[in-house]
Amino acid sequence: MRRRVLAPLLLLVALLLPAGAPALAAPAPPPDVPAGPWARPVDGAVTRPFDPPPDRYGPGHRGADLAGAPGTPVLAAGDGVVVFAGMVAGRPVVSVDHAGGLRTTYEPVEAVVGAGRPVSRGTALGTLAGGHAGCPVAACLHWGLRRGEVYLDPLSLLEPPEVRLLPMG
C-alpha cells in the first residue's frame, strides 16, 4: 500500500519541481562501500555539507561539518583501525582506516585512542573541541571520508533518510 501511494507522489513532486531544481535524494553511496552498519560520529545537524573540489588541489569542502558542543564524545562511524591521532596544522585529528580502502577523519577531536587501536562502530575516539573555522555553533565536527586520494561525501555512508512529503501552503 505504501509504495502504491508513494511512487505517484514522488512522480508528482518531480514534475512540479522547476527545471534545474535539486533532486530530493540521499547522497549516493561511494562505489564498493563494504556492507555493514555505519553511524554518525555525533548527532548534530549538518552545518556545512560536502562540496567536492573540481580537482585534487582545487577549492571545496572535503567533508561534512556536524554541529556539536565542546566535550561531546566523537564516535567511530564504522569498524576499523585508528591510523592517526595527533595534530595536523595545529588542529587535533583522528583518522580511521576501514575495509574497502576507506578512511574517515574527525577534526577537531581530543583523542582518547592511539594509532594501531582497532575500533568498532560507536567506539569513542575522543571529545569534540571548539574552534572549527566557520562553525556557526559552539563546536563543529569536520567529518571526512576518502578512498585513496579521492574525497567522498561521508553522509553517503549513512542509511538514506526517510522522505516525507508535506502539503503545500
CATH code where residue 50 lies? 2.70.70.10
| pLDDT range class, residue 105, cuts 50, 70, 90 | very high
User: Higher confidence at residue 1 or residue 120?
Assistant: 120
60 compared with 107, residue with greater pLDDT = 107
Q: Global pTM?
A: 0.73
- pLDDT value of position 12: 37
Q: Is residue 92 part of a domain?
A: yes
d(CA 56, CA 149): 8
Beta-bridge partners for 167: none
Answer whether residue 23 is part of any domain: no
Question: What integer pLDDT is reported at residue 5 of this predicted model?
Answer: 38
Mind listing the pLDDT tens digit for each residue in 36-91? Answer: 579 999 999 999 999 888 887 888 788 999 999 999 999 999 999 999 999 999 99
Supply the range of the domain harboring residue 119: 46-157
According to the model, what pLDDT value does residue 160 have?
A: 67
Q: Is 106 among the domain residues?
A: yes
In a domain, 126, yes or no: yes
**Confidence (pLDDT) at 121:** 95
Cα separation, 86 vs 125, in Å, equals 12
Q: How confident is the model at residue 161 (pLDDT cuts 50, 70, 90)?
A: low
Strand pairing category for 150-152 and 139-147: antiparallel
Cβ 65 vs Cβ 141: under 8 Å = yes
The domain total for the chain is 1
Residue 151, phi then psi, degrees to nearest 5: -80, 140
Q: What is the mean pLDDT of the chain?
A: 80
Residue 66 included in any domain: yes
Residue 118 domain flag: yes
CA angle 126, 45, 54 (to 5 degrees): 90
In a domain, 3, yes or no: no
- Please report whether residue 61 resides in a domain: yes
Which amino acid belongs to residue 164?
A: R
pLDDT of residue 100: 92
Asked if residue 16 has pLDDT above 70, the reply is no
For residue 94, the model assigns a pLDDT of: 98
